[in-house]
Amino acid sequence: MAHKGRWYPKRPYFGLHYDLHANEHDTALGTHCGPEELEQSLRLMRPEWVQTDCKGHRGMTSWFSKVPNATVSPGVKQDALKGWREATRRMGVPLHCHYSGIWDDAAAEKHPEWAVVPNPKGAKAGDAFDTAAGRMCPRGGYLEGLLLPQMIELVKRYGVDGFWVDGEIWAVQPCYCESCKVAWHEQTGIKRVPTSTDDPNWVAWLNFHRQSFYDYVTRYVTALHEKCPEARVCSNWMHTFKDPGEPTVPTDWISGDTVYGLDPLRCEARFISTRGRPWDLMAWNFFRVGDWNDKTRPWTTKDPEMLLQEAATVLALGGNFQIYENPSPLRDGRLVDWRMKRMGQVGRWVKARQAWCRDTESVPQVAVLHSEHHFRSQPAKDLYFSCEAAAVEGAAFALLENQLSVDILDEWALVPRLAEFPLVVVPEQDRMSAAMAQALAGYVRGGGKLLVTGAASHGLQEPAFWGAEQAEVAEEKGCFVPSAGASFAAWSKQWGMLQLSKAKSLGTLGTTGLTDAELTPYPCAVVNRVGKGRVVYAPWDVFRFFRDTRYPAVRSWLGELVGALRPDLGLQVQAPAVVDVILRRKGKRRLVHLVNRSTGLSLESPAQGVEQIPAVGPVEVEMRVEVPPQKVWLAGEKAEFEWGWAEGKLWARVGAVGVHAAVIVE
């Protein structure tokens, strides 16, 4: 069953995350962590909750743990946690610990019997995300021998309020220890354990480890809650975009950290906001271009404008926001005042939006299906990094850039709410469950509007549903797609060649860029009436293609497909493609959030920084409002603004959007 989680009575909104990942080379840990020094720096930022360094992936603590199996870094000179606890207590804010869970190098060295037994076929040496080195087996003795005793020690000795557990689902590796092999046999009846992604049982083997990990987190969360009822726990990246499915593990809130820019946040926030649990997203205060280990391109601090842009999407979708700070190469625990001032500037901007961003819920417009059944059918190497959802990302980006308000939902979240959405988009989710396919068919027959893509998706329904038979499937092919009097070149791993029965063609595939010659007999998409509703079917990997190219012509064509469905959205926005629209409600209020993603900088690699964001506009909003509104106003920014209402329709014009504004209708 799903769990609602817990946050704090005062509901902190803006947080600081600070970690160092203590190691054997440290020499001065804690020497600048006196409560006075920390409090002075923290007040420059004024976070409403704090997560501080505790134990990183190396497995060494930055405090004097007394648990018998602990490994304390030789560089710990003063008790940093004592200083952090006192400073945060004076400020009246909760204190969490950053604690590396599944990934613990020191524990693996001390207790190899706790660690993952690697694939007998071997792993790539030196690749931290493709090796079992330092990873704990969820069925081993690590939880009882170290993790839980240290968490209890931290709560009892220091009074910490919670844990942001790192190195979790993204660090899990398949384990070949005897406990795992025995459990695998007992649960599946299969004796031989898969050792290759080509093995027909590999997907089942991977999902066996997914469930082992869920059970492991459930065990330590439940045990901690029993011993320390007020402690809060989060497992980093659990129940997020790359972990779809019913959120059954009883963590208290959901969180994840993102290094680079807006695209990951745009998908994560739209998905996490459907989990029914308190949540935040954490933006790093720094970034580097290229390879993480490329010392010729050092980490550099983000400009405040870059953080504002990252915060905007999170806040508009109802989440809390925190910033990760690590002022390396300083390893003594100090906070750097000029950096704290910058983050304080971001914090003031975030808190100014709290009254109209918090406690909102989505007004259903466009649902993008992110099927957990499809996602978990991948023969990936691990549970996170090698799993991909490119088509879902492409769908979100293309629809948003057509000024549509988008939610991303898995089957668990979408099925109960299916009828609420005027438009549902299924981006190459051809391995969804049979129950989901049946629900979508019923949705269309009842009047819903459905957009489906992908050659293999044809088999999800009977041919009559699409109004077209699939004559053949062409592999790895380039074709030309007509759009708006022009044509664009496209590529797909598979193309479904359709023969119409009762569907209407939405353009003919070409072999060249000519729009009136050199054409194939096959449509690039079709529209069909089914019951009271409509379905548009594009039998190729268009959303993956858009995600990989971001070609404007593809985005425009996808907008044409949406237009062919004629969804009754009740909201139309005319704006530059860089403006994301997010429609929310808070009580009787309706909020049309406008997030400006532009940078004004070169698109040439390696440019990734954001500064001096150029305002864009104008933005025209038209929304169905049955009765005259009492008040309509622009929140968040000062701009030229006017509005009017007539015959059940509200119109508003925003002269320009800087970073984030919202048209609020009461």
Q: Distance between CA atoms of 178 and 110, rounded to whole angstroms?
A: 19
pLDDT digits (tens, 9 = 90+) for 28-82: 999 999 999 999 999 999 999 999 999 999 999 999 999 999 999 999 999 999 9
First to last CA, the chain: 36
Quick one: pLDDT at residue 604? Answer: 57
Q: What angle do CA 243, 247, 251 make, to 5 degrees?
A: 105
Q: Distance between CA atoms of 406 and 414, rounded to whole angstroms?
A: 13
Q: What angle do CA 562, 533, 464 make, to 5 degrees?
A: 100
Q: Distance between CA atoms of 143 and 213, rounded to whole angstroms?
A: 12
CB 89 within 8 A of CB 98: no
pLDDT digits (tens, 9 = 90+) for 314-373: 999 999 999 999 999 999 999 999 999 999 999 999 999 999 999 999 999 999 999 999
* Pairing, β 571-574 against β 619-624: antiparallel
- Max alpha carbon distance in the chain (Å)? 79
Q: Is the dihedral of CA 306, 309, 313, 315 positive or negative?
A: positive
Q: Indicate the CATH number of 363-565 among 3.40.50.1980, 3.40.50.880, 3.30.1490.100, 3.40.50.280.
A: 3.40.50.880
* Pairing, β 257-258 against β 280-284: parallel
Q: Does domain 14-357 have CATH number 1.20.140.10?
A: no
Q: Distance between CA atoms of 365 and 585, rounded to whole angstroms?
A: 12
CATH fold, domain 571-665, is: Immunoglobulin-like (2.60.40)
Domains 14-357 and 571-665 share a fold: no
Beta pairing partners, 96: 51, 162
Tokens of 81: 């946690």
Taking residues 577-604, report their average pLDDT: 90
Give the dihedral of Cα atoms 177, 182, 185, 186; nearest 10 deg.
-140
Output b/e per residue, 566-590; b: 16+ Cβ within 10 A: ebebebebebebbbbbbbbebeeeb
Residue with tokens 């964001």: 613
Tokens of 247: 């959120």
* Pairing, β 468-483 against β 449-453: unpaired
Q: Distance between CA atoms of 470 and 555, rounded to whole angstroms?
A: 25
Q: pTM here?
A: 0.96
- H helix intervals, 191-319: 202-227, 262-272, 304-316
Nearest to 252 by CA among 271, 273, 278: 278
Quick one: pLDDT at residue 526? Answer: 98
Higher-pLDDT residue of 462, 614: 462
Q: Distance between CA atoms of 352 and 348, rounded to whole angstroms?
A: 6
Domain ranges of the chain: 14-357, 363-565, 571-665
Q: Distance between CA atoms of 629 and 646, rounded to whole angstroms?
A: 10
Quick one: pLDDT at residue 259? Answer: 85
pLDDT above 50: residue 126 = no
E strands in 444-588: 449-453, 468-483, 486-500, 504-505, 508-510, 519-523, 526-530, 533-538, 571-574, 579-586
Distances (CA, A) of 309 to 130, 264, 320, 359, 428: 32, 13, 14, 20, 30
Quick one: pLDDT at residue 131? Answer: 65
Higher-pLDDT residue of 123, 258: 258
Q: Distance between CA atoms of 137 and 469, rounded to whole angstroms?
A: 49
pLDDT above 60: residue 160 = yes
Q: Distance between CA atoms of 87 and 600, rounded to whole angstroms?
A: 40
- H helix intervals, 242-334: 262-272, 304-316
Residue 24 CA, distance from chain mean position? 33
Q: Distance between CA atoms of 666 and 631, rounded to whole angstroms?
A: 5
pLDDT above 70: residue 125 = no
Helix, strand, coil share of the chain (percent; to 5): 30, 25, 45
pLDDT digits (tens, 9 = 90+) for 363-389: 999 999 999 999 999 999 999 999 999
Q: Distance between CA atoms of 291 and 261, rounded to whole angstroms?
A: 16
Q: What angle do CA 371, 422, 319 make, to 5 degrees?
A: 60
Nearest to 382 by CA among 211, 130, 198, 136: 130
- Give the pLDDT band of residue 607 (cuts 50, 70, 90): low
Q: Distance between CA atoms of 232 and 96, rounded to whole angstroms?
A: 8
- Give the pLDDT band of residue 294 (cuts 50, 70, 90): confident
Residue type (1 letter), 263 = D
pLDDT digits (tens, 9 = 90+) for 422-442: 999 999 999 999 999 999 999
Quick one: pLDDT at residue 289? Answer: 84
